[in-house]
Chain A
Amino acid sequence: MSTTLSKIEKRTAYTLLLPAVCLVFAIVLFPILANVWISFKEVGLKDIRIPEPRAKKIVKYSKDNNSELKIVYKFRNSSLIQEIREVKFSDKFPKNFEPINLDKRCEFKSQKIKCSFGIWEAGYRENFEILIKVLNIKDINKKDLEYFKPKLSGKSDNILLTTDFTLKNFEKVFLNNNFFELLMTTFYFTFFGTLGAILLGIFAAQLVNQKFYGRSFMRSILLFPYVGPVVALAYTWTLLLDPNSGTLNSLLVSFGIIDKPINLLGQKYLIISILGFELKLRLALTTVIFFEIWRYFPLAFLFILARLQAIPKDLYEAADVDGAGPFRKFIAITLPQITAIISILFMIRFIWNFNKFEDIFLLTGGASGTLTLPISVYQQGFAISNIGMGSAISIVIVLLLIIFMLIYFRLIGKRASEI
């Protein structure tokens, strides 16, 4: 009895899960695996269109012969790169139509014409003509004839499905001189973006955890940068920081703080000299990191605030009795209570920031030293149209992510479910 019940339960569970699992598998897991496949191939953006045989049908009346009608089919191979094999063609004629001098490749049966053309090489073109004997050409309506659409079919290699593989993409990725810089930029961006967001989040949470007038308003607006659409916010920032007529630069110049406008998003390095040492600051990257911090500290704020509000009040009361000041209370009570959530946040935000695409793409497009791994996937795949390369970089990202996740689950995976 119990076995049948558990069987029913199992079957129910699988039925309920099936749609969701299928969808996620098709759209999320399958592409990750497909990346592995594509990354070992030399594929460009233009290769992924499947070549098709195409035909355009034109009906022509013969001038000198009243009983002849000519139908011209303009054939072509839609691809300029790939051949099509076993091209088959068929078309239908109205009753009483009889083709004359039919091409050898074709046969005519019960008002249908069928041809097999064999191979069409890349960029193939042909004007194929069929002559038809009719009683009186004036009885024929051109529209009726053109109403039937010719059907074409053919086989072609889908470059994605062939089994010739190459290591070229990975060679290019790893032997490229810029790969190390790419990696360092990504880590720099991720690390400082995460750190800054969490520090700012601690401050904001500490602030909102106090009582003051307008506290709930403050709490709402603190989440605005995260809730707002990235496109709108990124373009607003671009406008704000614009060197020519951006508000920030105009303000700084008009108050005499700087002499010349600074191109905060378009300048790779800013050279600062302190005590005779020249420091090179990655300017555009720093600006992008600031945007990142601005946009994502609300999340850190939310979690830290939730944790702060869960700290028992009597801890602080006990500290008051012991004569501890506000600073001491923060160090001895608050900080130890939030270290766990901060470490979890750091790991998770690190993984997310590592994958951030939109923010950098919209602000700089990866120019002036802000090229990170995700941006480079886009650049290779769609700007340079080298899909294989893009996939190879995706694979690098996935591998690094797996490493991060292993570290995450090792260190705090179990504790994460408790909080």
Chain B
Amino acid sequence: MKYRSLIITLLLSSIFLSIITCVWKIMATLQGLSFTTLNFNLNFLLALGLITVSIILGNKFKPIYKISILSILFTIIYTFLNESSPLWFSIGIFLIILFFTNKFNKYDIIYLKQDFISEKIIFEFLSLFAIVFFALVILFPFYIMFVTSFKTQTALLMNPLDLSIDFSKNILEIFKSYLIVFKTYDFGRYILTSSYVSVGTVLITLLFAIPAAYAVARLNFFGKTFLSTSILIIYMFPAIVLVIPLYTVFSQLGLRNSIEGLLIVYTATTLPVAIYMLQGYFKSIPREIEEAGLIDGQNWFGIIIKIIIPLSLPAIASVSLYVFMIAWNEFLFSLMFLDNPKVFTLSRAINHLTGDAETPRQYLMAGSVIVTLPILLIFVYFEKYLVSGLTAGSVKG
């Protein structure tokens, strides 16, 4: 039993360490270093040696000495055996190994004798792998988007792997793509249009949804169950099946290429989910509070304005953020309804940029950063509300 956990520890930790160093190497390559091989096998053997030494040494030394000496030693061997690289790369390697040896300091022969230790070790390594994997897989495209927007066309063609930002340049030179996107491609206008459409959609949706949700939550009327079920069903129907009839009708009514048309469609498509989310919350407000309002002589309008809305502000915030996100990110309808560059939304404008094959990719990425950044910032800032909006919005409806 003892050997099994020992072997598992050795294998997993060395695989993990060599993968981390490879990831570091790839990231360094993207900063312009030219490596030609990942040297996975060699690094694997090195890592194996490091872990073995670390386990054998066990607790014989003070941890701080053990960790720092091992890390320095390993870094020197690594740098010696691999291709030549600048100092910052080796420092990165050193920090990785420092973190790693610190993490596995507790592993010694005695520790490995515990119950279920192999399983625990597997789980521990799986989580470490998972953290690296998810962070990399998710952030990498965002990183590429961000970094590409600061490059120039010629630099990208010369070495597509060199994504480093040249800080020695003039600040205007660095942000050139953004300046051009704003000046030549008129992105300032599109930001305004997108904001106008998104905020407008939120306001109109709330205006329609709050009374309707109140009726569904509180009042008794014929067809109530039917209505609640149909809200769900309607939300399931995708935009793509609505597009052709709406396109024909909007063309004949002259509503294409108008922001009003877009507002109507966005509001209507988000209304079902908004009603669904709000009525769930309204139901949780105690009836007694409303009855007190009724005794005070309020009608339904007063009840909604003075009692329901102030009490359900968190839910309204969730709905607003969710609807805002949908409207800001929406693409299909803006593609169908807008041909006139004067009324483009940001998404449509970026799509329009790609229509011309000559458009340099850094402009495209600058546009992408401009459309992505606001929504990500809003998400990070209001995460709590948006997460509850997402939860209610996407499974229930």
Contact = CB atoms under 8 A, between A and B. Distances in A.
Interface string B321-352: 00001001101100010000000001100110
Nearest to A6: B220
Contact of B271 (A20, A203, A230): A20
A218 B238 contact: no
Interface stretch (A26-34, A53-61, A73-81, A92-100): A26-34
B208 A255 contact: no
Q: How many of chain A's residues touch chain B, expressed as a range? A: 35 or more
B244 A391 contact: yes
Nearest to A35: B245
Contacts of A17: 211-212, 215-216, 227
B38 interface: yes
Interface stretch (B45-53, B90-98, B116-124, B164-172): B116-124
A46 B243 CA distance: 16
Interface residues of B, number: 104
B215 A13 contact: yes
B141 interface: yes
Given A17-B227, A207-B127, A299 B160 contact: no
Nearest to B146: A236
Interface stretch (B71-79, B131-139, B179-187): B131-139
A231 B347 CA distance: 6
Given A218-B134, A245-B157, A27 B141 contact: no
Interface of B: 26, 29-30, 34-38, 115-116, 119-120, 122-123, 127, 130-131, 134-135, 137-142, 144-145, 148, 156-157, 160-161, 163, 208-209, 211-212, 214-216, 219-222, 224, 227, 233-234, 236-249, 251-252, 264-265, 267-269, 271-272, 275, 300, 325, 328-329, 331-332, 336, 346-347, 350-351, 354, 361, 364-365, 367-369, 371-372, 375-376, 379-380, 383, 386-387, 390-391, 394-396
B395 A344 contact: yes
A27 B160 contact: no
A23 interface: yes
A336 interface: no
Interface in A273-294: 294
Is chain A's interface secondary structure helix, strand, loop, or mixed overall? helix
Contacts of A9: 219-221
A48 B269 CA distance: 24
Contact of B265 (A27, A29, A225, A327): A27
Contact of B208 (A20, A49, A351): A20
B245 A221 contact: no
7 contacts: A17-B211, A21-B212, A28-B269, A31-B242, A247-B163, A294-B137, A355-B241
Contacts of A221: 134-135, 138-139
A378 interface: yes
Contact of A231 (B127, B331, B383): B331
A231 B368 contact: yes
Interface in A221-266: 221-233, 235-237, 239-240, 245-247, 250-251, 254-256
Interface stretch (A64-72, A143-151, A175-183, A393-401): A393-401
Nearest to B252: A50
Contacts of A312: none
A30 B245 contact: yes
B131 A20 contact: no
Given A9-B221, A358-B332, 9 more contacts: A17-B212, A34-B245, A224-B379, A236-B142, A237-B141, A240-B140, A245-B157, A394-B244, A401-B236
A35 B390 contact: no
A260 to B, nearest CB: 15
B243 A381 contact: yes
Contact of A29 (B137, B163, B234): B234
Contacts of B390: 223, 226, 299, 302
Given A17-B212, A221-B135, A299 B371 contact: no
